[in-house]
Structure 1
Amino acid sequence: RVQSLESLDESSTACDLEALVTESSNQLIGEILSQGATCVNQLFSAESRIQESVFSSDHMYNIAKRTTTLAKGYTGGGSDELETLFLYLRAGYYAEFYNDNISFIEWVTPAVKESVDAFVNNANFYENSDRHGKVLSEVIITMDSAGLQHAYLPQVTQWLTRWNDQYAQHWYMRNAVNGVFTILFGGQWNEQFVQIIGNQMDLAKALGDFALRASSIGAEDEFMAANAGRELGRLTKYAGNASSVV
């Protein structure tokens, strides 16, 4: 499970996690957005009772619904609100994985998927800017954290295919799109992913092309080319035609 990556430009912020302990999802949303992503980061390591309250199934569902609304209206250029809310959602899955007292009801993940879909289907999904990259990173990691690796293979393939030197100039875009390799790695524990990954020929070709990008040699995104090669090699463990590309 991926924990939080602190932003390079985050400053010291006074956080009040106790203020997040509430039965009202609307109040929780207000507090989360007021305190921001820096404070939501602290929920990854918060004490159990705080996590149990903050990450109830009702809160996860309602915050996913609010996130969906905001994602549909996203106009590009980044969004502190979306960055914070998607960070909250993936922090919830992190807490569920490690906290034995947290177990989400079955309707939570469909609501989270709806919020991710809203962002993916937004016309600005493939924008190139650092501000956008900060939000995109949280969305891509949420795909993995929610166990939805199988659902976004077309987007993984698109990002690998679209990647170019202009994207590579931006630190937050490199950080965000590098998350697609986390999706491919994490998918090996997702049965739905395992059943389909072996026949993703376009993905296999995109990984191969990415790994061989000459312009990445000695460049800022060289580590991504190495990750692409690693995940291309991993395809050989799955049944299907994609391994023939390796």
Structure 2
Amino acid sequence: MKTSIRGAAALALIACLGAQAATPGHPALSHLPLCRDVSVVDACRIDVPNGNFAGFEGDDFAHAYEFPSWRPTHTVAEHIVPWRYLDPGNRGGGQVEAGSTLTLLQRGDSVEQRLPLPALPTGAHVTYAVHAHTATWTGDSRVRMDISLRDGSGVITRANAAVVMNKVSDEPRSELLAWINVPDGTNPTDLDIAIGMEDGLGRVPVSDVVVVRAQQDDPVPELAVRW
């Protein structure tokens, strides 16, 4: 019964709003409805602004390697808004000219964003899955994702995941996936996401950040890889 409800909700939403951009390797994710439009028992997506780091809505700037080039350019930090580029070593990763996607410049660099969450009914037992794709330009890189649920009093709970990559690629296809359960008796208002290059040399592209909410016993088949 859950599958039919989920499918009906997705079809209704797509009919009204149009299909969302597909996530490479996860074609079914684009068919999940947004959480604000469905019941808490249905698997759904939380909207992630600029989740593929391709530019904010209305971004009409020129980007590296694009032609024609007479339009003005902007920085990585400006391109990925509302994400923030963190550069603890002050090496200028957020201030270089933006390409059409995101690349973390050096070890220690990261991006972060805080997402507002829909209110949950009392007694809801839900989990959030945060997905991203990454790659390494030089091999032997480790990328880590840290996520936390917050309410008005601060952090409720935290989780993290990491992926180690040895194969050189400029196309983000390595899977990075973290899960976090909502503790009983809490109602988080926000989800913090941070993705950073924890170890390695060279640049690390990141893309395809998707957040899914589901029941804690739901395997969420839409997250299965289908390359």
User: Does the alignment reach a TM-score above 0.5?
Assistant: no
The structure richer in helix per residue is 1
The structure richer in strand per residue is 2
Task: Calculate the TM-score normalised by the size of structure 1.
Answer: 0.27
